[in-house]
Structure 1
Amino acid sequence: MERTFTTYYLEMTSAEALREKSQPHDLNIIECEVPQAALNRFLYELVGTPWEWGDLDAWSDADWQTLVEQDCHRTWVAYHRGAIAGYYELYRPDGCNTEIRYFGLAPQFLGCGFGGALLTHAIQSAWEWPNTERVWVHTCTFDHHAALGNYQARGFQIFKQEELEINQ
């Protein structure tokens, strides 16, 4: 059976384009200043499993370590009452185009109103990273049904769209 899905590539070229959603008082977002590859792997699986993220499933511990120990890679974790509510990673290998590489909420926090606030934080962090000229992200129709709308509500604009068919 063939199934079609669409990938959307979105960008923001000015910090002023951000339409903020305020952060709830009980949501704490903290940067992981000490890289921990195992933590990033855990976060990727926690957030991505419901959406069948699988692009990094074959990665070794060394692959994860290589990624997270780069100066162009940063990670933040969101906590609600001590539990991991979500996370995001920023990646900027070229020194100016900051990608929100991975972003999402843990399954039990979907629908709690944290997505817009966490995305606002991610965008602000990207623009606060010195020399950022553009922030971009991609999502697809396999992600949460509110993902694309959240990106657009925060001020991202679609700059490319791809449709692919996969066999299942």
Structure 2
Amino acid sequence: MHAYKAGDTVEYRVTWLEMTKRPTYGWPSLPVGREAILVRADSPPWWYFLSLYDAVGRDYAWTDKHKIPRDELNAWIQDPDVSLYTMIGKGWPQGFFMLDWREDEICKLAYFGLVPEAVGRGLGTWLLKSAVMTAWDRESTKKLTVDTCTLDHPRALIQYQKMGFSPVRTEVHSRVLASDQVFHQPLI
């Protein structure tokens, strides 16, 4: 475990991954004993996106989207080629994913994650498979991409690889942390 203070500069590794064909697994079933629904947001406002972004990303230094002007953020999340899906369980948001088809023949899994209270309950694989299958359901999709970094959940990279993504490149980046953070894995 590595603890950092707000204002510290950290170096971390970013990995880009891609999937160039529809996976052979099908649409997932919910794990036995779990209840959840997946809801697609229709023209969500910026604050709805940021509430999910913060709930999922607060432990992983997700702060970049707060720097984008609200009208620009709204234009992105309300673009007809961008979709936001929320996993609702027990009446509250437990995770979300965003798919971005704005680039010809490519879908980017722009965001994916669970709120801390939902991690370890067996729904992450269901949500990720649902995201992958939703991306491939659009006929124009020829490649699905995602990127993750060592600031994210320690199992993020391995989960993407289990779903069929292959790493295509890595880079080391740095950032100044906006708040105190604890990371459970080495960042480089």
- Indicate if the aligned counterparts of 2:36 and 2:88 stay in contact, CA closer than 8 A: yes
44-53 or 22-31, which moves further after superposition?
Answer: 22-31
Identity value in percent: 26
Alignment partner, residue 137 of structure 1: 146
Provide Cα deviations, 1:18-50, integer angstroms capped at 9, x if missing partner.
Answer: 587542350211111343322112111111111
Q: Which runs of 5+ in 1 are unaligned?
A: none
Paired residues, number: 168
Alignment partner, residue 48 of structure 1: 57
1:107 pairs with 116, 140, 152, which one?
A: 116
1:118 pairs with 118, 127, 138, which one?
A: 127
Provide Cα deviations, 1:64-84, integer angstroms capped at 9, x if missing partner.
Answer: 211122111111000111111
2:45 pairs with 36, 60, 81, which one?
A: 36
Counterpart Cα distance in 2 of 1:154 and 1:132? 17
Alignment partner, residue 171 of structure 2: 162
Q: TM-score, normalised by structure 2?
A: 0.81
- Alpha-carbon shift at residue 61 of structure 1 (Å): 2.2
3-state DSSP of counterpart to 1:79: strand
2:82 pairs with 52, 55, 73, which one?
A: 73
- Indicate if the aligned counterparts of 1:38 and 1:64 stay in contact, CA closer than 8 A: no
157-166 or 72-81, which moves further after superposition?
Answer: 157-166
- Alpha-carbon shift at residue 59 of structure 1 (Å): 2.1
Q: Say whether residues 1:94 and 2:94 are aligned partners.
A: no
Counterpart Cα distance in 2 of 1:85 and 1:69? 21
Relative to structure 1, is the Cα distance of residues 166 and 53 closer, same or farther in structure 2, using a 3 angstrom cutoff? Answer: closer
3-state DSSP of counterpart to 2:134: helix
1:15 pairs with 18, 22, 28, which one?
A: 22
Counterpart Cα distance in 2 of 1:110 and 1:117? 12
Q: Which has the larger radius of gyration?
A: 2
Q: TM-score, normalised by structure 1?
A: 0.90
Amino acid aligned to 1:127: W
- Alpha-carbon shift at residue 161 of structure 1 (Å): 1.0
